[in-house]
Structure formats: C-alpha cells, structure tokens
Chains A and B, each alone.
Chain A
Amino acid sequence: MIEIKNLCKSYNGVMALNNVTMDINDDDIFGLIGTNGAGKSTLLRIISGVIKQDSGEVLVDGESVFENPSAKEKLCFISDSDMFPQNSTPASMSEICRAVYKDFDQTRFEFMSNKLGMGKNSNIRNYSKGMKRQLKLLLALSSGAKYILCDEAFDGLDPVIRQTVKSIMAEEVYDRKIVPVIASHNLREIEDISGRIGLLHKGSVLLSEQLEDIKFQSQKFQVVLQDVSQEATISSLIHPISIDRSGSLFTVIARGQRDGIKKAVNSLDPVFFEFLPLTLEEIFITETEACGYDLRKIFA
C-alpha cells in the first residue's frame, strides 16, 4: 500500500502539489486523472523517489522511498519523457534494470521484446515514439516491481499493443498482485480498468474513492417538469451540481443516492423522468467545474 500524507511541492514558488493525501491500496488498479498541470506527474515522480517533496510523506509498504534502494525496488516508474541514455539498446537497458531489480525476469523480457520485433542490439535512437513506449512497458512488466507507475504510458500505443499490455497487466494483477497506478487522460480506459480513482486539480485531491462508490453517490437524470418555474423547487430539493436546460427538458447531475432523488423529483409529478448513466468523463467535468474550471466561460 502506498500512503500519501499531506504532500506539498512547489517549483520556484509555483505550487504543484498542495496538501495531497490519498491511499493507493493493494490488489487493485489505481487510475490517476486530473486537469492539465494538476500535478499528476509530480505526484508520480515523488512517489517513485525521483524528486523530493517540500513537506509531507510518502510511505511504500510503510517505508519512505527517497534515497532508499530497498523501497525503490518495489517501484517502477514509466516516465512520460524520454528516459533512454544515448546509444542504448534493449540489451543494455535490461542490464541496467537487472542491476536495480533483483527479480528482473530476463527470459521474459527477451521473449517479449523478440515478439515485438526489437533486435537485442538495435539502437533505441532509431525507434519510433510508440516503440520506445513499448520498450518502457516491457522493462516495467519484467522488472518484478510490485507498483508500476505509468505516466500516460498507454497514450500513443496502437490498439493491438494496448489490448496486449492491458491483458498482461490483468494477468500480473492476478498472479503477482502487482498494483498498476495509471495516469491518463483517456477516461474511458481508466473507467474500464481501475477500481479506484484519484482526481487531481490544481495540486489538490478532488476525489479519491472507489469508482463504484463515486457513481453510486452521484446521479444524472433528465426531467420534463409540468411548469418550467419548478426549476427553483428542484434546485432547492436536491442541490444539483449542474443543471442544463433545453426547452422544457432539464438534464441534471446531483449528489445523492438514486432512491432519494427519485422520491424528490417524483414529488413534483414530472411529465417525464429518467436516470442516465454517469460516465467518468462527466464526473471529471462536473467536479472540476465546481472548482471553477470551465474554459467555455473564457472563450465565450
């Protein structure tokens, strides 16, 4: 388990993380999402011990990570930026990894890199962006590390490789109990594979919960009221996060459980009333909008 407590980090006076507290539990896939510049990469870099926080702490299975090789062996960070040294090859990279990760699975790495058509001694400089990403993922999945931190690692992979990587991850979660932490903007994908979600905005945590619970606690519905003036009544009854009107049809997102909202809305005897599925994308948008992140207002 990774415990993140009151983490703060600023770069030249710009606050990147502001009092971040969240837990990343074992036996699950954690999805890290957030607005651009929210601090996702900073958080992952601190967790993996690449940079040091200003205050607060990160404990990986109870140990602090920074400059602690035994804790670092449990972590593998797939950075978003290019991390390969000059003139490196798959063989030289696996050698570096073997030095760091005692349980590095060389046979597996060679088998998989071979399958993906990466020559053992081919120069990584000549690889495409997608192939570099594949190689990073391969190294991480062969590393034997428990926590695999992926900074937008799936972005830029073709659909076939993507499915394959997700399948391998699913097997590893089951067999070795690895804990993937996946930062991404592909919300649909995160929604499909993560059990737990952390939502960051401007360096703070907006949500850190089981995805099922988030969906259970927020509802989206459409309603046609008998009289448009009832909008005020509905607002006072259920305190919507967002309410969108087109003609006499209202589309509402509100916090609360389904039964309570159903009762409240039905008490107004609406002409039409229906719950709609709430996607992670909508949760993302409404939660960040509630914090004043609405760019339509800027461009309007």
Chain B
Amino acid sequence: MIEVNYQDPRAIYEQLVDKYEILIATGVFKKDERLPSVRSIASKLSVNPNTVQKAFSILEDNGYIYSVKGKGSFVAEPSSLRKDRIRKWQETLSDLIAEAIKLGFSREDCINEVATIYDKEGRKK
C-alpha cells in the first residue's frame, strides 16, 4: 500500500506524510483505526525507523493522528485533514491552470479538458 519512490526528489519522511495524509483523507484508514507500527513500516520499507517516526510526529503535530502510550498511533477526526488536502489540491490546480494560460488555453479549453479527464477517471472507479 505504501511505497517509497527513490526517484522522488522529496525526502522519504515527506513522501510518507503525503501518502498517509491521502490514505486518511480518502477514508482508507478510518477514524480511531490503528496505524501500522513504526517498527513494521520501517522494516517493510527497509528505511530508518527515525524517518518513519519523524513522519508520524509531523502527522501528529498537524492533528491528523494521535498516539496512545504503549498502544500506537490512531487516526484522528479527518475533517481538518480533508480541508487541508483540498486546499493543497486547489493550489496545485491553480499552478496548472496558470501554466495552461501561458500555453494559450482559453477558459473554455480548460473546462473541456477538465471535463474529459473527470469522465475518464470517473469511469475507472
């Protein structure tokens, strides 16, 4: 489910934060569900446990997960995470649209393009 991409320029902990955010925001991990342990993730991905710990600390600082001493980390109420992810998505989208404008796309072109992609992706689901 989680993989580390060695071609990705981002640090491994950033990739982990991103992947877990998506998994929580999209409801793969439900509220109050226990996340895999730091040890098992580190072992499975062959990465430094400190890296996984760092990713978990960031998720916890942002309020997306909470930890119970001796029991592990659990998924917190996901609504704020969903809001944050939507904001991030909007930022990415506005970068892409700015680029489309530079490439000479009209408003119409952009909307058509988005509609086509939406239909295509929607069909996969």
A: residues with CB less than 8 A from B are 27-29, 163, 166-168, 170-171, 173-175, 188, 192-195, 212, 215, 276-277
CB-CB under 8 A from B44, the residues of chain A are 167
Instruction: Determine whether the beta carbon of A170 is less than 8 Å from that of B12.
Output: no
CB-CB under 8 A from B48, the residues of chain A are 28-29, 170, 173, 192-195
Instruction: Determine whether the beta carbon of A192 is less than 8 Å from that of B49.
Output: no
Instruction: Determine whether the beta carbon of A174 is less than 8 Å from that of B39.
Output: yes
In the complex, per-residue mask of B6-44: 1 if CB is within 8 Å of any chain A CB, else 0: 100111100000000000000000000000001100111
Report 5 cross-chain contacts, Cβ distance below 8 Å, ordered by A residue: A29-B50, A166-B46, A170-B39, A195-B50, A277-B9
For residue A277, which residue of chain B has the nearest CB? B9
Instruction: Determine whether the beta carbon of B47 is less than 8 Å from that of A192.
Output: yes
CB-CB under 8 A from B49, the residues of chain A are 170, 173-174
CB-CB under 8 A from B38, the residues of chain A are 174
CB-CB under 8 A from B47, the residues of chain A are 166, 170, 192-193
CB-CB under 8 A from A276, the residues of chain B are 9
- Could you tell me the distance between the alpha carbons of A24 and B101 in the complex, rounded to whole angstroms? 52
- Could you tell me the distance between the alpha carbons of A173 and B42 in the complex, rounded to whole angstroms? 10
B: residues with CB less than 8 A from A are 4, 6, 9-12, 38-39, 42-44, 46-51
CB-CB under 8 A from B4, the residues of chain A are 192
- Could you tell me the distance between the alpha carbons of A195 and B53 in the complex, rounded to whole angstroms? 12
CB-CB under 8 A from A277, the residues of chain B are 9-10
CB-CB under 8 A from A192, the residues of chain B are 4, 6, 12, 47-48
Q: A167-B43, A171-B43 known; A28 and B9 CB under 8 Å?
A: no
The minimal Cβ–Cβ distance linking A217 to chain B, given in whole angstroms, is 15
Q: A168-B43, A173-B50, A277-B9 given; name 18 further pairs at CB < 8 Å.
A: A28-B50, A163-B46, A166-B46, A166-B47, A170-B42, A170-B48, A171-B39, A171-B42, A174-B38, A174-B39, A174-B43, A188-B6, A192-B6, A192-B12, A192-B48, A193-B48, A194-B48, A277-B10
Instruction: Determine whether the beta carbon of A174 is less than 8 Å from that of B42.
Output: yes
- Could you tell me the distance between the alpha carbons of A75 and B113 in the complex, rounded to whole angstroms? 61
Instruction: Determine whether the beta carbon of B11 is less than 8 Å from that of A212.
Output: yes
- Could you tell me the distance between the alpha carbons of A48 and B47 in the complex, rounded to whole angstroms? 25
- Could you tell me the distance between the alpha carbons of A11 and B108 in the complex, rounded to whole angstroms? 75
The minimal Cβ–Cβ distance linking A1 to chain B, given in whole angstroms, is 16
Question: Top 5 A-B pairs ranked by shortest CB distance?
Answer: A277-B9, A166-B46, A170-B42, A174-B49, A174-B39
Q: Which of A167, A174, A277 has the most CB of B within 10 A?
A: A174
- Could you tell me the distance between the alpha carbons of A193 and B45 in the complex, rounded to whole angstroms? 11
For residue B4, which residue of chain A has the nearest CB? A192
- Could you tell me the distance between the alpha carbons of A167 and B49 in the complex, rounded to whole angstroms? 10
Instruction: Determine whether the beta carbon of A170 is less than 8 Å from that of B43.
Output: yes
- Could you tell me the distance between the alpha carbons of A168 and B39 in the complex, rounded to whole angstroms? 11
- Could you tell me the distance between the alpha carbons of A215 and B12 in the complex, rounded to whole angstroms? 14
CB-CB under 8 A from A29, the residues of chain B are 48, 50
- Could you tell me the distance between the alpha carbons of A193 and B42 in the complex, rounded to whole angstroms? 10
- Could you tell me the distance between the alpha carbons of A193 and B47 in the complex, rounded to whole angstroms? 6
